[in-house]
Amino acid sequence: MEYDDRAPPFLAGSAEVDASPMIAYLVIREGSKWTDVIRLVPEETVTIGRAPTNKIVIQDERCSRTHAEMFLAQGNWVIRDLDSRNGTIVADQRLNSDYMLQPGDIIRIGNSHLAYVHDLAQAFPDSSTLLRRAETMEGASSDVAIDMSDNESVLEVYEPTNITHRTGHSRFLDSAEQDPTLTTPKVGRAAAKLCRLAFELAKSTDLSSLSHLALDGLFEGTHADAGAVLLRKYSSVNKQDQQDVLDVIASRSDSSHSYHRVSQFLASTVLREGQAVLARNVMDDSQLGSRDSKGDILAASVICAPVRRDGRVLGVVHLYSTDAERSLDPDDLEFTLAVADTVAVAIENLSRRQELAENLDQVRDENVQLRERLGVQSELVGSSSMMMQVAQEIARAAPSRVTVLIRGESGVGKELVARAVHFSSPRRNGPFVCLNCAALSESLLESELFGHEKGAFTGATARKIGKFEAAHRGTLMLDEIGEMSSSIQAKFLRVLEGHPFERVGGSEAIHVNVRVIAATNRDLERDVADGRFRRDLYFRLHVLEIVVPALRKRPEDIPELADFFLQWFNAETGRKIRGFTPAAVRAMTSYRWPGNVRELKNVVERAVVLVRGNTIDVEDLTLTTLKTAGDTESSDPLRIKPGEYNPLSLADLERDHILATLNSTGWNKSRSASILGIERSTLDRKIRRYDLTDQRPR
């Protein structure tokens, strides 16, 4: 929006006005309208800028945070540019030094205009102008709203607030002794001491320092020369057992005798009634053992006040004076009770802070354990259609609580899929427990699953919680479920059906809420037919099935996985391997990977450790000649199914096998010869003999 830089009409002729320069105004224009009016006070320097701490704030990108300042010098208002980025312009000139303002001057800062004027009456001569004043301009602060008919805007004059006192520190928090020359009432001095003490108690970090601070404040505000803070001691078994047992948290004595504990009578009275008491001529309980003895007077006066919070008495504050000339009085009683209530609040706040700190430490430990347990393996790596299907099956299986059976060859990442199911399910906050059934004998497997009691067998020196109990409200993954013995299968099936179980050597029925995820690389159907796996357990496990494909069936994921492991081991070892050569990528893609993802991970790790250059080549990859095998798939590539026999000569069989090997290696003759177990020259002769050609599309 464009508008002229001339003064507004209401400023015309204002230069001739003989007004006192002590009273001046800035009229601010935003856009095309003149809006605010700021009164300039001689005693104050007016700063102008974009920062909210300025007297005049201008929301303009071309305005610096602290752009300019105005001040009164020798009876005239002067403006000074504060080394702003875009400068300050007055009378079409950029300021390089201080400028003495004249009525009618227009100050330009960015796109904002500020008009300097002495007299608002001369500035608004129009009869339609309406001035509404809360007070006169010469009086205290007033707000003036001005209705301008020419631009239909309202101007407000903001009078400055008259600040009378400033302080950065309260004298009520000073620990200095009271000036004896002051005539402050005792109640006022006690209130100041209580305020100061509450401030110090709030900063305490432990119960002992809090109690000592409270005693110091009590000795300062009363006539006591001995005392202590005592808190109730609760039993961890029954909170009613020892509720009247008091522990001395802190004690102090300024007399010639050490602190003497509060009498049982006074303590019981205060704990029972919850009121502070003042007593005179208290005798030593230790001298009251006989009827003839009246005992020795221990203290001239005693105060016992309850430390109470939310209707509970946490303990007592015990004070006494041994000097009869400085006896404790009712004012001391009230002050002690106020301190005791303040101590109760401080104790509660301290307890809450400690509880929050403990909870925070526990959460941090759980997060660390979770990160260690998941690590970078918490993501499924791979963008092939098969892996997308696996991800969809995980998403469908996670919300329910039914049993999941994960199948796949060894090393494909069945445990990783199980973790993904668990941490995508409503049980994500519960434990995830994994157990390999093939790694334990039958007796040890039963103990690991269901736990055992002390003395159940030789070596059972203590009770042990089984995996089922450890996974309560979480997920239990049983890897290699096909290796479980028949007797364990029967007990395991009963637990899956929701029945309770007993620990080995125990008789207590244990109920758990556990979701089971089973994994296997065996052909369970064949095991069921052969009688090695229970039929009813098979049907109980076979509710939701997720088949993880072998790595050779998804070769498009191999480069992505290899790069993922490369970055992982780069970060772990501190090396900076840039990547794989094209030949290495072709070799990994054409390789059959009998060990699946586990083998790929180990191959990349070895290459990162031993490679000498910045890239990994074919020579850096250690690939075996093992055949691919999986219990869930046929491990014999030449296995012939009934009805599919096709008679072939040995020469035709050799020709087809050599051609298939060459195609699988991308016609890498050296690798093909290594797989076939023959020399490179022998392979060349057979290629010529059978007239084999590379028929791959170019």
Which tens digit of pLDDT belongs to each residue from 93-104? 899 999 999 888
More confident residue, 446 or 291: 446
Helix (H) or strand (E) holding 524: helix 524-530
Burial of 544 (0-12, 13-18, 19+ CB in 10 A): middle
Q: Residue 110 is which amino acid?
A: G
Residue 118 contacts residue 23 (beta carbons within 8 Å): yes
More confident residue, 5 or 210: 210
Beta-bridge mates of residue 71: 78
Q: How confident is the model at residue 290 (pLDDT cuts 50, 70, 90)?
A: very low
CA distance 536 to 493: 8
> Is it the case that residue 10 has pLDDT exceeding 80?
no
Predicted local distance difference test score (pLDDT) of residue 176: 46
Residue 431 contacts residue 572 (beta carbons within 8 Å): no
More confident residue, 359 or 473: 473
CA distance 331 to 329: 5
Using DSSP's 3-state secondary structure scheme, residue 654 falls into helix
pTM, two decimal places = 0.41
Predicted local distance difference test score (pLDDT) of residue 243: 53
> Is it the case that residue 161 has pLDDT exceeding 70?
no
> Is it the case that residue 140 has pLDDT exceeding 60?
no
> Is it the case that residue 683 has pLDDT exceeding 50?
yes
Predicted local distance difference test score (pLDDT) of residue 233: 74
Residue 193 contacts residue 202 (beta carbons within 8 Å): no
* Residue pLDDT, tens place only, 350-386: 888 888 887 887 777 666 665 555 443 446 788 888 8
In the chain, what percentage of residues exceed pLDDT 70? 77
Burial of 671-692, coded b for 16+ CB within 10 Å and e otherwise, reads bbbbbbeeeeeebeebbeeeeb
Predicted local distance difference test score (pLDDT) of residue 407: 92
- Please compute the mean of the pLDDT values over residues 201-211 and round it to a whole number: 86
More confident residue, 301 or 646: 301
- Please compute the mean of the pLDDT values over residues 531-553 and round it to a whole number: 90
* Residue pLDDT, tens place only, 17-76: 344 446 788 888 766 666 688 888 888 889 999 888 888 888 888 899 899 999 988 888
CA proximity to 66, closest of 41, 83, 43: 83
Crossing angle of helices 414-423 and 385-397, in 10° steps, is 40
Predicted local distance difference test score (pLDDT) of residue 164: 54
Pairing type for strands 106-109 and 112-117 reads antiparallel
Give the CA radius of gyration of the chain.
45
- ∠370-373-376 over CA atoms, to 5°? 95
* Residue pLDDT, tens place only, 573-594: 888 899 999 999 999 998 989 9
Q: How confident is the model at residue 649 (pLDDT cuts 50, 70, 90)?
A: confident
Predicted local distance difference test score (pLDDT) of residue 186: 64
- Please compute the mean of the pLDDT values over residues 656-678 and round it to a whole number: 86
> Is it the case that residue 11 has pLDDT exceeding 50?
no
- Which tokens in the block code for residue 46? 């007016």
Predicted local distance difference test score (pLDDT) of residue 294: 47
